[in-house]
């Protein structure tokens, strides 16, 4: 059997990078997608290869239809069809009340978090269907979809709510074709994303109110993602795994 190929979107840092490292250790050929940070993506590829893992990286803005098409075409031409996809790329913007959020901003947030994820799912399902592969898709949502992120980024939370609904529907559509679609919802995880929202120490501020009284690590989220990707989760589809310290 050939080595299964997994595409991880937004994989140059944070949860995506931890997922790439773990998936490579567990025998996947990992394709790391990045948008801007080529140096970190290449560094991660070199790190994985140094421990005998299989890894590549490709630039693409997954919210852009041409970029997404090119990304999947290149993977097919160079390494073959993917049988696993992690829709990890996601953005948020400065903490703000909803009243101050512009339509331009919420279009940007939905373009990556929702429409980029949907685009990648269509391409991935095409790879799987055309090559008669069983497949596994993991969407990275957020517990923000449940709590709503008031006074911070309700646009981001709403985009993750859309991912939850999309996961449920797509899982039901694809189940009979052997393609599983699941969702991981992280809580407050130590990554650089919080600095993008204007509060680099946000996780430490929230930690006392988390039942486990600490933030999570990207590696703890990666474990859930890679388990759902794997055949160990063979009877899970349309499932939501919250990695959130009890929230």
* Active-site residue list: 156
CA pair distance 43, 212, nearest whole angstrom:
33
CA pair distance 237, 235, nearest whole angstrom:
7
User: 230: which DSSP letter?
Assistant: S
Answer yes or no whether residue 157 interacts with ligand NAP by CB under 6 A: no
Which of helix, strand or coil describes residue 200? coil
Answer yes or no whether residue 191 interacts with ligand NAP by CB under 6 A: yes
Measured from the CB of residue 90, what is the shortest distance to ligand NAP in angstroms?
2
Cα radius of gyration (the chain): 17
Neighbours of 199 (CB within 10 A): 15
Answer yes or no whether residue 16 interacts with ligand NAP by CB under 6 A: yes
CB 75 within 8 A of CB 128: no
- Among the listed ranges 29-37, 48-56, 124-132, 229-237, the one in contact with ligand NAP (CB under 6 A) is 29-37
CB 185 within 8 A of CB 141: yes
Answer yes or no whether residue 189 interacts with ligand NAP by CB under 6 A: yes
Tokens of 185: 């919802």
**Which of 5, 6, 8, 14 touches ligand NAP by CB under 6 A?**
14
Answer yes or no whether residue 140 interacts with ligand NAP by CB under 6 A: yes
- Binding string, 96-125, against ligand NAP, x = CB under 6 A? ----------------x---x---------
Tokens of 19: 């997922």
- Among the listed ranges 5-13, 96-104, 128-136, 174-182, the one in contact with ligand NAP (CB under 6 A) is 5-13
Binding site for ligand NAP (CB under 6 A): 9-10, 12-16, 33-37, 61-63, 88-91, 112, 116, 140, 142, 186, 188-189, 191-193, 196
């Amino acid at each position: 059997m050939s080595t299964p190929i997994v595409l991880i979107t937004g994989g140059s840092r944070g949860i995506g990078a931890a997922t790439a490292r773990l998936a490579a250790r567990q025998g996947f050929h990992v394709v790391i997608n990045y948008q801007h940070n080529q140096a970190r993506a290449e560094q991660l590829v070199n790190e994985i290869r140094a421990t005998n893992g299989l890894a590549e990286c490709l630039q693409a803005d997954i919210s852009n239809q041409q970029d997404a098409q090119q990304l999947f075409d290149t993977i097919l031409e160079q390494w073959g069809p993917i049988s696993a996809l992690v829709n990890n790329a996601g953005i948020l913007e400065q903490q703000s009340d909803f009243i101050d959020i512009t339509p331009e901003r919420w279009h940007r947030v939905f373009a990556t978090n929702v429409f980029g994820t949907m685009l990648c799912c269509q391409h991935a399902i095409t790879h799987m269907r055309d090559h008669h592969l069983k497949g596994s898709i993991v969407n990275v949502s957020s517990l923000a979809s449940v709590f709503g992120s008031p006074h911070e980024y309700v646009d981001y939370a709403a985009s993750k709510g859309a991912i939850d609904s999309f996961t449920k529907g797509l899982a039901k559509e694809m189940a009979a074709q052997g393609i599983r679609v699941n969702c991981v919802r992280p809580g407050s995880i130590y990554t650089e994303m919080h600095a993008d929202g204007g509060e680099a120490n946000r996780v430490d501020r929230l930690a006392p109110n988390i039942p486990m009284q600490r933030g999570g690590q990207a590696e703890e989220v990666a474990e859930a993602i890679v388990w759902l990707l794997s055949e160990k989760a063979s009877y899970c589809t349309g499932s939501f795994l919250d990695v959130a310290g009890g929230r």
